[in-house]
Homo-oligomer: A and B are copies of this chain.
Amino acid sequence: MSAYASLAAHFGRIAAMSNAVGILQWDSDTMMPKGAAASRAESLALLRVLQHEMAADARIGDWLEEAGGDATLGEWERANLREIRRVWTAQTALPADLVEASSKAISACEMAWRQAREDSDFPGLRPYLAEVLHLQREAGAAKGERLGLSPYDALLNDYEPGGRSATIDALFDDLAAFLPGFTQEALEAQARRPTPAPLEGPFPVEAQRGLGQRIMAALGYDFSRGRLDVSTHPFCGGADNDVRITTRYDEADFAKALMGVIHETGHALYEQGRPAAYMNQPVGQARGMVLHESQSLLMEMQACRSPEFLDFAAPLMREAFGASGPDWQADALWRRYTRIERGFIRVDADEVTYPAHVILRYRLEKALIADALPLAELPAAWNAGMKELLGTVPPNDRLGCLQDIHWPSGGWGYFPTYTLGAIAAAQLFDAACRAEPDALPGIARGDFAPLVGWLRTHVHGQGARFSTDELLTRATGRPLDAGMFKAHLARRYLG
């Protein structure tokens, strides 16, 4: 067996393990009875240790060296070697005692966070968060040393390979200068229109589920390789050829679940559309979190808050809920689903105000990792940033710096990918609509094939073959660029 074949077989086994973990994690969040939590935690911990051991196997280094000189390999195989090396480096960069200490600190901090958030008690969280931060900084330093990156860039690199804070700074500074004035202008335009009263429910769960499934099918989701279920926190998970999404239903407001389903379907289309021949290889995985988030936001924000989508969806909504009248016409629904407001909570934010939440978190976490901001000053810095970027200050830390689980759970470096994803979504959607003139008109007919076909070719089917910027340049003519995002916002909210 050639060194390349040995690597491919080995990473195929790692994928088989990762698929097992993915389904068990999905089950924990959707199906598992409460009393099984402790047994399940042991199974997942065991499988994750084995997966780590497989991905850190010393033979990988020898195989990589030998395969590097294999002149028979094609372009995909060479890209696979590059991705294998990336995965292997990440798995071997951290000393085992740091991994263990970090895992314990995160468990303790997550538990403390649940209570601290409830009590709006930042001082109660601080010692736990300080420990997580300290260990994240160490992890960033250890990885950074291997990769020649700053600690923050090394952390970011785990979620967005190739992502660099220098690039993000430029993009976010530009947006931070643009957004406050734009938001004010958009709110003023909105104030000139009447505020719609809430649609009258209840909207039965079964009807919501049926509507969601119908729209998933229209978007091109393959139900023979996935499922739709219910969980407290919606997600897209599962395994290769088994991409499962979840939502949660509110009988008073069907739009939350529906827009959530569309968002997760965007993620799922990326996963289902990865290259079949490399499905279980590193090069066949999604490129990174920026492009992943771009696919969910392209569907949720670009495609499915368009007037064209509501031309298609309004009759389905009326049919699902037996509704009628002027509030249920496409244009009224479109106005309703493109309303904006200044809020405190990121996950409830609209597409205009969302970037401000992200820019704030990005700036703060970068400063914390660089030790340029004392942790004790986080609440004050948060509130000052909210004032600057959003023009509003939360009344307490529960609605402020305690709202997200990312920092307590060790997800430092993740936040910027949300807004980078929104930027990429606008750029890709624009390119798709230019390349496929039937993309938007198709949506109005419920035919997403022109749009999704383009995404399959230019994004999903490329796996991790190119860097994010290289993929974007091939697909749209330029690397990540906020121009289309700003143009999209102006068209939709000032038009």
Contacts and interface: CB of A to CB of B under 8 A. Distances in A.
A134 interface: no
A393 interface: no
Given A27-B23, A46-B13, A46-B20, A39 B239 contact: yes
Contacts of A45: 16
B17 A46 contact: yes
Contact of A34 (B47, B224, B280): B224
Nearest to A35: B225
Contact of A239 (B43, B50, B240): B43
Nearest to A227: B33
Q: Please indicate which of the listed interface residues A50, A225, A241, A279 has the most CB atoms of chain B within 10 Å of its own CB.
A: A241
A239 B19 CA distance: 18
Contact of A33 (B19, B46, B47, B224): B224
Max chain B Cβ within 10 angstroms of own Cβ: one of A36, A279, A280: A36
B36 A242 contact: yes
A226 interface: yes
A31 interface: yes
Contacts of A16: 39, 42-43, 45-46
Interface string A268-289: 0000000000011000000000
Interface in A23-41: 23-24, 27, 31-36, 38-40
Q: Can you tell how many copies of this chain the complex includes?
A: 2
A327 interface: no
B20 A24 contact: yes
Contact of A35 (B34, B43, B241): B241
A12 interface: yes
- How many interface residues does chain A have, given as a range? 35 or more
Interface in A231-273: 239-242
Nearest to A30: B31
Contacts of A131: none
A222 interface: yes
A42 B12 contact: yes
A227 B35 CA distance: 11
Interface in A107-158: none
A40 to B, nearest CB: 7
A351 B356 CA distance: 71
Q: Which of A27, A46, A225, A279 has the most CB of B within 10 A?
A: A46
A38 B280 CA distance: 12
A446 B150 CA distance: 68
A178 interface: no
Contacts of A224: 33-35
A4 to B, nearest CB: 20
A20 B43 contact: yes
A241 B39 contact: yes
Contacts of A42: 12, 16, 19, 280
B24 A241 contact: no
Contacts of A35: 222, 224-225, 241-242
A45 B227 CA distance: 23
B33 A226 contact: yes
B17 A227 contact: no
A276 to B, nearest CB: 11
A280 B36 CA distance: 13
Contacts of A34: 224
Contacts of A38: 241
Nearest to A28: B23
A93 to B, nearest CB: 25
A20 to B, nearest CB: 4
A35 B38 CA distance: 31
Contacts of A17: 43, 46-47
Interface in A204-241: 222-227, 239-241
25 contacts: A16-B39, A16-B43, A16-B45, A16-B46, A17-B46, A17-B47, A20-B20, A20-B24, A23-B27, A23-B40, A23-B43, A24-B24, A27-B27, A32-B242, A33-B224, A33-B226, A33-B242, A35-B222, A35-B224, A35-B225, A36-B239, A39-B239, A39-B241, A39-B279, A42-B280
Given A31-B227, A39-B280, 5 more contacts: A17-B46, A35-B224, A35-B241, A36-B240, A39-B242
